[in-house]
């Protein structure tokens, strides 16, 4: 059977780069995300083939339906889940709302938890599985008006370690990546004019010990490392891939 990976938020940024990295490594890719058009664009470059699973992670019935489609396909063996999808909205303690917290909880925390819960029996039956959660350096050390985002990314880190303890005996590894600042559509500067973007990037670069912000490809390679046999004795790890910013 051909090996497969399921990647959420696969239509853009880190998720799209991760899909291409796994494709280069010989995987069939299940691409999950809200926008079908974005997933279609990524699928065009997945050399080993891809299946589009468009759904909103906030809608459990859509997610259940998409996971059933994976199980119905006997040709591919799902070996890896990358919980990458996420939103990032800034707010201060005073401009915070129930809606901002609920949305961050549902997409950045309950989304990964629900999907993982659905896949655990499948991984257990095969005594094999690797899960990589995409958190953030803000989950380790908050830096600004990002209360909901930072708190839920911290929850994702804690949950990763909890799962690693529980699932190790079943042959399932669970690890976490904490990216620093990476140039993807999640940031408003991504849509700035070239000149304004350079200005913003210059400001962020100055904060990094390595002197620049990261690329989606650099995160994708680290996700692949944690998912693959190259890290076969690693579980519960929290890997910062951040140009050193977590040290500042």
Strand order in the sheet with 76-83: 50-54, 28-33, 2-8, 76-83, 129-134, 172-179, 238-241
Distance CA 130, CA 226 (A): 8
Q: Is 15 in the site for ligand NAP (CB under 6 A)?
A: yes
Give the shortest CB-208-to-ligand NAP separation in angstroms.
12
Based on the residue annotation, tell me whether 149 is a catalytic residue of this protein: yes
Whether 200 contacts 138, CB under 8 Å: no
User: Where in 119-138 is the site for ligand NAP (CB under 6 A)?
Assistant: 134, 136
Burial zone of 8 (CB within 10 Å; 0-12 exposed, 13-18 middle, 19+ buried) = buried
Q: Does 77 bind ligand NAP (CB under 6 A)?
A: no
Among 25, 35, 64, 158, binds ligand NAP (CB under 6 A): 35
By CB under 6 A, the count of residues binding ligand NAP is: 28
Residue showing the smallest CB distance to ligand NAP in the complex = 13
Does position 109 bind ligand NAP by CB under 6 A? no
* Tokens encoding 82: 């990358």
Work out whether 33 is an interface residue with ligand NAP (CB under 6 A): yes
173 strand-pairing partners: 130
Residues that bind ligand NAP (CB under 6 A): 8-9, 11-15, 33-35, 38, 56-58, 84-88, 107, 134, 136, 179, 181-182, 184-186
């Amino acid at each position: 059977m051909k090996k497969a990976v399921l990647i959420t938020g696969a239509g853009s940024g880190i998720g799209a780069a991760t899909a291409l990295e796994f494709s280069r490594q010989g995987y069939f890719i299940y691409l999950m995300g809200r926008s079908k058009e974005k997933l279609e664009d990524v699928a065009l470059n997945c050399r080993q083939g891809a299946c589009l699973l468009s759904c909103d992670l906030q809608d459990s019935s859509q997610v259940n339906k998409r996971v059933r489609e994976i199980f119905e396909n006997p040709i591919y063996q799902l070996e890896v889940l990358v919980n990458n999808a996420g939103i990032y909205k800034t707010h201060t303690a005073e401009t915070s709302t129930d809606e901002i917290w609920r949305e961050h909880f549902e997409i950045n925390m309950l989304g990964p938890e629900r999907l993982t819960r659905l896949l655990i029996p499948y991984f257990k039956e095969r005594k094999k599985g690797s899960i990589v959660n995409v958190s953030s350096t803000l989950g380790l050390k908050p830096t600004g008006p990002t209360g909901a985002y930072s708190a839920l990314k911290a929850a994702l880190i804690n949950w990763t370690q909890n799962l690693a303890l529980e699932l190790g005996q079943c042959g399932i590894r669970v690890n976490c990546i904490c990216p620093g600042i990476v140039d993807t559509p999640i940031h408003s500067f991504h849509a700035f004019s070239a000149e304004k973007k350079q200005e913003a990037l210059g400001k962020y670069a100055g904060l990094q010990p390595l002197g620049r912000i990261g690329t989606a490809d650099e995160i994708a390679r680290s996700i692949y490392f944690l998912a693959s046999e190259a890290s076969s004795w690693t579980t519960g790890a929290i890997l910062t891939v951040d140009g050193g910013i977590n040290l500042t």
